[in-house]
Amino acid sequence: MFSLDPMRERKQFDAFLPRSPSPIVFVLVVTCYDYALTALFAAIVRLFHFPPRHLSFWETHGDPTAHVIEGLVFAPLIETCILVAIIELLRRLRVPTSVLVFLAGGLVALPHSYTWDWGPYAFVVLPGFIIQAAAYLYWREVSRKGGFAVVASIHALANLLPALYTIAYATRKV
């Protein structure tokens, strides 16, 4: 049976987390999990022979600086707000924690396929949002603001590689 005891929820994640209580170490370790699972899900997409992701709007139109700022600042803040709102709503509805994490992650990942106009993209980013949902629940018991900051930091750090690709693409065209 699922428990709504916050300390029990925290202990469920302990085996996968760094021993340090530092949020910075937590963000770095969990972002590595995010990268690893995202790469695995992207490989699964390639395994099923979906067409490759075309160059995004960010890489082919407009000011790359604005796109990088959007990916590193605005997307993490806005999507974290949406994720936290979904989590808090599902908690009020007393949805079990494991269902809550997957449902919230899926609901935030789903629009990415439409935004990027590439069907498998929601599947590729799904593990990152599930990890972020779990991270918020983990840090929420310490501080909701701290939980928000941790999740936004994980998201921004996960967006760092695509931002670097955008910069590389933009500078190659100059």
pLDDT tens by residue, 50-59: 877 766 545 5
Whether the per-residue pLDDT at 2 is higher than 90: the answer is no
pLDDT at 12: 64
Q: What ranges in 1-22 are assigned the alpha helix state H?
A: 6-13
Residue 47, domain member (yes or no): no
Looking at the 3D structure of the chain, how many domains does it have?
A: 1
Residue 45, domain member (yes or no): no
Residue 112: both structure tokens together: 């990415």
**What CA–CA distance (Å, rounded) separates 34 from 66?**
24
User: In the structure, what pLDDT confidence band is assigned to residue 11 with cuts at 50, 70 and 90?
Assistant: low
**What CA–CA distance (Å, rounded) separates 124 from 34?**
11
Mean pLDDT across the stretch 116-123? 80
Share of the chain above pLDDT 90, in %: 55
pLDDT at 8: 56
Residue 136, domain member (yes or no): yes
Residue 72, domain member (yes or no): yes
Which long-range contacts does 47-53 make (Cβ < 8 Å, 24+ apart)?
Answer: 50/119, 50/120, 53/116, 53/118, 53/120, 53/121
| Residue 152 domain boundaries | 64-174
pLDDT tens by residue, 127-145: 999 999 999 999 998 999 9
- pTM (2 decimals)? 0.83
Residue 46, domain member (yes or no): no
Residue 30, domain member (yes or no): no
Number of Cβ within a 10 Å radius of residue 151:
30
Cβ(9)–Cβ(3) below 8 Å: yes
